[in-house]
Amino acid sequence: MEDLRVHVHKIEGNGGVVDSESRHWTLSDFDNGKPLGRGMFGIVYLVREKKSKYIIALKVLYKKQLEEACMEPLLQQQIQIESHLRHPNILHLYGYFHDESRVFLIVEYAACGELYKELQRQKRFNKQRAATVDYISINGREFFHWRSPNDKPAKKTVG
């Protein structure tokens, strides 16, 4: 994991680019937020970037857990692929940074939450909602396969 270099992308705010200069992100660039959820390798937090006041999701992944599961190459591939994707149905990866024990992914915040959680809450989608979800899902998947057939996108969001 140590060859993972600090890589910075622009954080896009309402109506345009907020920060276009390259910079090295640190935790001090973000206001503390609330946890959004836990995953196998870490925790996702809702945070605000201090300079732009832009709300994002900050994924905190633990290097030790990633190494034990031999997931470092997949994480590096995810970062490389998702940092260059721009599609309305795929969450944007704005950048990343790391410290001695953690990797931090700066990700677009999905205000409506995950599609899976919405389906659990409603139990069943009506025909119109199901058709919309299918269209969004297929559109995002086609875009991804057009870019690279072996890549896997971030979780779908409620549209």
pLDDT tens for each residue of 130-150 = 787 676 677 666 655 555 545
Cα distance between residue 11 and residue 93, in whole Å: 9
* DSSP-assigned letter for residue 87: B
Is residue 21 a contact partner of residue 41, using CB atoms and an 8 Å limit?
A: no
The closest alpha carbon to 118, from 101, 109, 130, 136, belongs to 130
Q: Which stretches within the chain are classed as H helix? A: 63-68, 72-82, 115-122, 127-147
Q: Sorting pLDDT into bands at 50, 70 and 90, what band is 42?
A: very high
Assign 17 a pLDDT band (cuts: 50, 70, 90): very low
- Domain 7-112 falls under CATH 3.40.50.2300: no
**Which residue in this structure is represented by tokens 């659990």?**
120
What's residue 48's pLDDT?
A: 94
d(CA 59, CA 40): 12
Q: How confident is the model at residue 66 (pLDDT cuts 50, 70, 90)?
A: very high
Annotated binding site: 59, 108-110
How large a percentage of the chain has pLDDT more than 90? 32
Mean pLDDT of 40-63: 93
| Local confidence band at 70 (pLDDT 50, 70, 90 cut-offs) | very high
Residue 114 pLDDT? 66
Residues forming the annotated binding site for ATP?
59, 108-110
Mean pLDDT, rounded, for 74-84? 83
Tell me the C-alpha to C-alpha distance, in Å, between residue 9 and each of 19, 51, 96: 9, 15, 8
Instruction: Report the pLDDT value the prediction gives residue 39, as an integer from 0 to 100.
Output: 87
* C-alpha–C-alpha distance, residues 58 and 42, integer Å: 10
- The DSSP letter of residue 51 is T
Give the confidence band of 30 by pLDDT, cuts at 50, 70, 90.
Answer: very high
Distance CA 131, CA 128 (A): 5
Q: How confident is the model at residue 8 (pLDDT cuts 50, 70, 90)?
A: very low
Top-confidence residue, 25 or 17 = 25
Predicted model pTM:
0.68
Confidence of residue 110 (pLDDT cuts 50, 70, 90): confident
